[in-house]
Amino acid sequence: MLLRVILAFCFLLIAILFVLFVINRRKLKEKTESEKSLNEFISGLGIVLEGEKLGIAIWIDDELVYINSILIEHANLAGIDIRNKKDLDELFSHPERYLVFYDMLTEIRKQREAKASDYSGVWRKEIGQKYFEIKYFRKHLNGKKYVVLTTKDVSNELSNLEVTILAELSEIFDEHFSKETINLYELGEAIKRILANYGLVDIFGIGILKPTGELYFPYFKYTDEDDRSGFVIKPEEKTLSRYIVDKGLKVHIRNSEKEPPLSDGYNFYYIRRFTTEVFTIYGVPVSFRGLTKGVILFEKQGEDQFSKPTLAIFDKIAHFISLALRFIEILDELNTERTKLFELSIKDYLTGAYSRRFLEQFLEKELSKCRRTNSKTTVAFLDVNEFKKINDTYGHVYGDEVLKTLVETIYKNIRMMDLVARYGGDEFVLVFPETTVENAELVMKRIVESLKEQNISISYGMLEISEFETIDDVYKEVDKRMYEMKKSKTSNT
C-alpha cells in the first residue's frame, strides 16, 4: 500500500515537472520569437541593436508598446519620464522650456505639422556630463504609424569631439577675419550654431566692455524666438557678468539656484531674471594687453551639465574670441589712423577746409556730372577783406584764428553735400552741387551775416561751372573774377 502511494507521488511529481518543462520551453520559445520579431521590425526601420548598449522605445499609433531600461535610465538623466504621455505632450507643446532638446523637438514638431509620412533625425547631446547620440524614426507601415526612439551613450567620443569642433570654428574665424570688419552678432550666431548642434550649450553670449563702463552684449541668445542680443548691463549693476569682468576670473556655476553668493555684493541671479529654471553656467573673461575687455558666457539648462572635455573646448573658444576682439581693436586703430592720414592728405591742416588738390578732383567730377545730367553746380570764390592788414596789425597767430573761425562759420551754414576748400592764403572756394547761382547767393548772404557777428568781412564772386569746358577754364575765371572783385571794390561787409 505504501509502495503504491510512493509510486503515485513519483508519477505526479514527474507529470508536474514535465508540464513545467513544457511551459518554460514555450515561454522561452515565445520570448525568442518575440525578440526575433522585434529585431526584424527594428532592422526593417534601418536600426541595428547593439546588445544592451542601445536604449530603445517604440510607439505604434502613439501608444508605447516597448521600452527598455537603458532608455528609461537615459531619459531620467534629463529629468523626463518618457513613459508618461502627458510629459511627452508637454515636451512638444513647449520646447522652449526644454532647451537641451529645443532643436530636436522643434524639428520633429515641424515635420509632424508638415504631415511628412516618414522622417528620421540624429542629434548629439551632452546630458549630465555624458554624451548621447539620439535617433528618431517615424514610419508608416500597413496603415499604422511607427515611431522609434533610440539613445546611445557615446561619452567616449567626447574627448575626440574637440578636434572636430575646433576645426569647424577655425573655418568660421578664417571667414570672419578675411573681412574688412567683423560682425560680432554674426560671429556669435555661427559659434552658437556649432555648439548647439553638438548639444554642448543652450545659451551663448558675448559681452564687450565699452569705454563708458557699460557691458554690452552684441550677442546673447536662448532660441531663435528669444534673442536678447543688444542688452546692456550698467556699471553699477553687480551681475555675474560684471563679476567676471571686474575680477578677471573664470566662474563655473554648477547649480544657479544653490550656488553660494558671489563675493563683494555681486549676484549671479540677476542674469537669471529671464527664467526660473536651474542652469549650469561657465563664464570666461576676455583679456588682452593685460586688461579684461569682456566676457563669454556658456549656459545650459540643468544641474552640473558641463564635463571637463567640454570646459576645455569652451576655454579654447574664449581664446579664439579674444583674438577676434583684439583683431577688431587693431582694425579700429588702423582705420582711425588711416582716416586721420586721409584727412591730412585732403584737408588743410590749419582750417579743416579741403585742400586745393581735393577741390580739383571734386570739381572734375561735378563738371562731368553737369554735362551728363544737365544739372547745375555753383561755385563761390571768397577772400577776407584786408587780411594782410589784419596780419600786420595783430600778428599771424591772430590771422590764423580768423581763418579758422571763417571756415567753422561756413560749415555751420552749408549742407553736408557742399564743399569748402582753401584755394590759397585767405582765398576759399565753396562748391554747391545741384544748386543755381540764385540759391547759392542766399546761402552766401547767410554766411556774410554770420561772419559779421565774428567781426569778419569777406568779398566773393559766383559762377556756375557747367558753362566751362575744363577745370583750367574755371581756374582762369577764378583769377579774373577775384581781380575784378578787388578792382571794382565790390564787397559785402
Give me the tens of pLDDT residue by residue for the chain, a chain 493 residues long: 555 656 555 555 565 555 555 565 565 555 455 455 455 555 555 555 555 578 888 888 888 888 888 888 888 888 888 888 888 888 888 887 788 888 888 888 888 888 777 888 898 888 888 888 899 988 887 788 888 988 998 888 877 788 888 888 888 877 776 666 778 898 889 999 889 888 889 899 999 888 888 999 999 988 777 888 998 989 888 888 999 999 889 999 988 888 787 888 887 654 444 455 788 999 999 887 778 889 999 998 888 889 888 898 899 888 888 877 777 777 777 677 666 666 667 888 888 899 888 888 888 888 888 888 888 888 888 888 888 899 888 999 999 999 999 999 999 999 988 999 998 888 899 999 988 889 998 999 999 999 999 899 888 888 888 888 787 787 777 667 766 766 665 544 4
Rounded CA separation 218/208 (Å): 8
Rounded CA separation 384/454 (Å): 12
Rounded CA separation 230/30 (Å): 63
Question: Residue 467 has what DSSP assignment?
Answer: G
For the chain, counts of helices (H) and of strands (E): 13, 16
CA angle 237, 242, 248 (to 5 degrees): 155
127, 277 Cβ separation under 8 angstroms: no
81, 67 Cβ separation under 8 angstroms: no
Q: What is the pLDDT of residue 211?
A: 86
Q: What is the pLDDT of residue 13?
A: 55
As a residue count, the chain comes to 493
Cβ-based neighbour number of residue 177 at 10 Å = 14
Q: How far from the centroid of its chain's Cα atoms is residue 59's Cα?
A: 40
Phi, psi of 461 (to 5 degrees): -135, 160
Rounded CA separation 222/202 (Å): 6
